[in-house]
Structure formats: C-alpha cells, structure tokens
Structure 1
C-alpha cells in the first residue's frame, strides 16, 4: 500500500539513516514506547480537551469519532508515534495532512460560540494536554523522571509541536498549569465525557487485553486530572483508582518497560538509525554509553 492510498502509513525502517524529529537519546523515546503511558496519558488528554466546548464540538461534529472512536484514536496515535520515531520527512508529511484536515474544521458550539480547529489557542491546548498527559502517566505509573528529564522531554518535542502550528509549546510543568488556569472558566461537564470513558473502559480498543486492565486505565486517566478539573467534569467516585488498579497498571508498565517489542516503531526506528533495536528499552545510562561508544550525540547524520 502506498503513502498516497494510506496517508497514515509509516515506514520506520526507511530511508536508512534518516533522522527523526526527536533524537533517540531523548526521554520522548522512552515515554512513547510504553503502551501504559500512552494509554493513560492519551485518555487523560482527551478528557482535558473535551472539557472545552470548542474542542469537544470540533471532534464530535467534524470527525469519525462518533462512528469509529477506536479507529480515530489509532490514527491520532499513529501521528503521535510518527512525530517521535518516524523519518523526519514522513513525520512532516503526516503532520501536514493532519493540518490540512484541521483547516476544514470550524463551526459553532451548542452555546453559539464560533470555533476553528486551527485557532492558535486551541492548538496550544491540544498539544499541551497530550505532552503533559503522556509525561505524567509515565512518571506516575511506569518510572519517575527527574526534573532534568522532564525539561528535556518538553524541549525535545518542541520541533514536532511547531509543525502543528503551536505557538506556545510547553517548556515545563508550570506552563501547562498556567494554560489550564486560563482556560478553566470555560470548562463544563457534558455527557460526551462519560460516553468516551465508557468506550475506553469497555475494552473495544483491544479485545485481547483483559477488561479489568481497560477499566483500570480509564480510572487512572481520571486520576491524572487536576482535582478541580475532575470536579468540574463531574467525574465521581465511581472513577476512583483502586489499589488493585494501581498495582495492575504498575506491573503492566514495568513489563512493557523491560520487554522489547520487535517490529514496533521504536525498534524499527533504532534499526533505521544504525542502533540496536532494543535501544529505547535500555536505561538512560546505557543509552549514553552506547552512543558514546559509537561516537554519536544521539542521532546519526542523514544519509
């Protein structure tokens, strides 16, 4: 299948040597390889976005989300992974396609407020929710990150967010909370939020995964929300994360952190760059040692 027939197709192995937008030594490579951090962080990001009527209306009224929420989520995930691991040229192609689709999205909320998907403030918030959500999910449920690693995570992702039209990328956690405080007066509860969580917790996205893990993931995503946002969205005690949930997610995150997945985007991208396929699963210290031994600073020159 060609890139023209499937605009979301990514060949992570080719062109050999072509750099990704994010260097392999970045914390981004570690965070995005772990399905637990992606799952929890991605759902939390959508909850934060759906709190704003403009984004909620744009997604619900102008995408396939109502008819095919799983497929829509997977395409969003593909774009996110391409931005981190894909050859830079491929990442730019996919992001350009996303931007062209977003350029067609405009309308009015049920309250009569006009919106455009390419509104700079909305682009900033969508990027902020995803960036913070993935990072915080990894930090809480997989492996704690130092302040220096968190700063590097934000810094290394800026080139990707700029391609989406983001004008104010996050550079630290304080940036996220400052943006949240500015938008908070707009937040409101809505039945769509509950519908979305019900889909996630039903296990439709991955039927082979035990349903209790799906339910735990949904509750963990709610746990990532700042308390005032959870209260505003009226997500009650039925979404409280249990001790069993936490233990289950930690165990799954631990295993995913230590068992390399062959033919996955991070594995194939490492091979494309002339690195061992298991590179993203190695500790930061071992990554640095390997790169030093190879005489590299994190990414080889593009061939």
Structure 2
C-alpha cells in the first residue's frame, strides 16, 4: 500500500503535531538524524521498525502493556510509588514513549547511553509491594515481565488493528528485541511467541487484582494525551487496549468484556490504525532515523 499524498501545508501540520506529541516538555529534542550512518540497536529492516512507526497501535499497545504490568504486585508498586504518573501523566507518557523510540530507532551509541541511565535510576527504586514482598526495579524477574508485556502489547496491537503478522514475523519481533532487552537487564525476556506464552502461563498464577488498574485507566481517559477534539478517539483506543488483555488476566484484574470494544467499534479502530500506516510522519523518530541511514523518509511506508 503506497503512502497517501498530502498537500504540503497539511503535511507540515501533521508533522508538527506528531513531533509535539512525542516530545516531553521538560527534555531537549532528541535528534534521530545524527550521527549520519550509525545503525540502531535493532535493524532497520526488522518488524520492530514497522511496528513502532504507527502511533495509533503504539498508544493501544502501550496501555495494554501497563495493564499487564500493574497486575504484578511488585511492578505495580514500583510504577505507582516511584513515578509521577498519578500527578503528571502526560509528560510521563511522553518520556516513556521517547525511551521506546530511542531504544528502537536511535543510533546504537545514544540508545546504549540512555538505557544505562535508566538502569542507574532503577537501582534506587526499592520498596514493599501491597502483598508484603520486597521489590527492586532491577530484579531480573520483574524486568523480564515488563519487557514481555511491552513486546506483547505493541506487537499484538499492530497484529490486531494494522495488519495480521505471520507466525514468523511475530517470532522475529520477539527475537529482534532481545538484544535490547538484555541491555535493560531482562536476560530472561521471551525470544519467540512460544516463550511469551510460556512466560504468560508461568506468571498468571502470581498476578493479583488491584484498584490501581482502574485508577490507571481513569487517568488515561482524563489525561490530555490527545487534543480536545480527538478525546473520543483517545477513549476508543483505551477500549481497544483493554480488548488485547489476555482473558485470564482480564478475569484476575476485574476487567469485563463491556470495558473493551463493541463489535461496531472494531472497524473504526482498524480504520484509524491503517490510516496512520499510510501517512508518513517526516518528523517522527522512524522517518528521521531512515534519513540518518541514507534511506527515504517514507521508506517504512513503502516497505512491506
């Protein structure tokens, strides 16, 4: 499917909106175009570069990942007690999104430096979960779960709402992300769909309900993540994220089928996600990173 041609004024407005959407106000802009020629940690022809360019499926998958993270008591405590999410959700979301973009698209040297900084900050995050267990943010078991939930959320959202991924593509998505997972300390992160299913089965009996899951979803509905005119879309995408939660975990945390998408809403989400797949965002990390590697800015929109 070829990119949709837009008039230059419309393209500029979309590019600027995308750049602002990804940029935390309290951080300098990250230049994905430099240094010229330096490869990323993940190959430019990988499925990850395809998946992470779509802002609609990324939003959906990110919310799904957090729901799964919050089902684990120690991760839940770490997220809720040591971040600004409750008081300042939008900047926190943008910082998390930028970290994901840097991990996938940025020059390897810059991505490695960022990940090392995150690891240092995590070394100071400790406490007790609501079930009495101690936690440390750099605990390998917890890092493995966080990496796995992110991998599942982003890949499943793309698969469900953008285009179906083959079994090989899904395995490649897991395997391609593993080298970056190791840098984060998640040495036991899944490397295939089969390993993800095994980890999910092993973790499910350890997951617990918490009102924090519903507090998170309420924050996400109220957060000004999208412009005011697009707030109904934001609510729709949150329903889509709930739809992706594996049924066994939805039962544990108390999510009902009615919290997800109605049948008539599924085509709307697919139309939004597939539409985003046809509009190159020239200021996005994906496009800027293609330029850094000497590729056309719309390379990922032409490639299938």
Q: TM-score, normalised by structure 2?
A: 0.88
Is the Cα contact below 8 Å between 1:203 and 1:209 reproduced in 2?
no
Alignment of 1:146-295 (within 5 A): 146-202=166-222, 204-208=224-228, 210-284=230-304
- Of stretches 66-75 and 38-47 in structure 1, the one that deviates more from structure 2 is 66-75
CA spacing shift, 1:7–1:119, aligned 2, 3 Å: farther
Other structure's SS at 1:17 match: coil
CA contact (8 A) 1:41 1:136 kept: yes
Instruction: Give CA-to-partner distance per residue, 1:152-192, whole Å, 9 cap, x none.
Output: 21121111111101111222222112112222122122111
1:69 maps to 89
Aligned to 2:66: 46
> Cα offset for 1:203?
5.0
Q: How many residues align?
A: 280
- Which residue in the other structure is 1:120 paired with? 140
In the alignment, what sits opposite 1:292? none
Q: Return 115-124 or 179-188, whichever deviates more.
A: 179-188
Structure 1 gap segments, 5+ residues each: 1-5, 285-303
Please say which of residues 230-239 and 260-269 is displaced more in the overlay: 230-239
Q: Does the aligned pair in 1 maintain the 2:241–2:260 contact within 8 Å?
A: no
- Mapping of residues 101-116 of structure 1, within 5 Å: 101-116=121-136
Contact 2:190/2:199, CA 8 A, preserved across alignment: no
User: Aligned partners of 1:189, 1:66: CA distance in 2, in Å?
Assistant: 19
1:212 to partner: Cα distance:
2.2
Provide the rounded CA distance (Å) in 2 between the counterparts of 1:209 and 1:172.
40
Secondary structure of 2:39's aligned partner: coil
Judge which range, 82-91 or 245-254, deviates more.
Answer: 245-254
| Cα distance in 2, alignment partners of residues 159 and 241 from structure 1 | 34
How far apart are the structure 2 equivalents of 1:75 and 1:61? 17
Q: Indicate the SS of the match to 1:115.
A: strand
SS across alignment from 2:135: strand
CA contact (8 A) 2:57 2:161 kept: yes
Contiguous gaps of at least 5 residues in structure 2: 1-25
Please tell me whether the aligned partners of residues 282 and 288 of structure 2 are also in contact (alpha carbons under 8 angstroms).
yes
SS in 2 for 1:210: helix
Determine the structure 2 residue equivalent to 1:291: none
Q: Within 5 Å, which residues of 2 pair with 1:27-42?
A: 27-42=47-62
Provide the secondary structure at the position in 2 that maps to 1:111: coil
Q: Is the CA contact (8 Å cut-off) linking 1:270 and 1:277 kept in structure 2?
A: yes
Contact preservation (8 Å) 1:8, 1:78: no
Cα contact 1:16–1:273 (8 A) shared by 2: yes
Aligned to 1:288: none
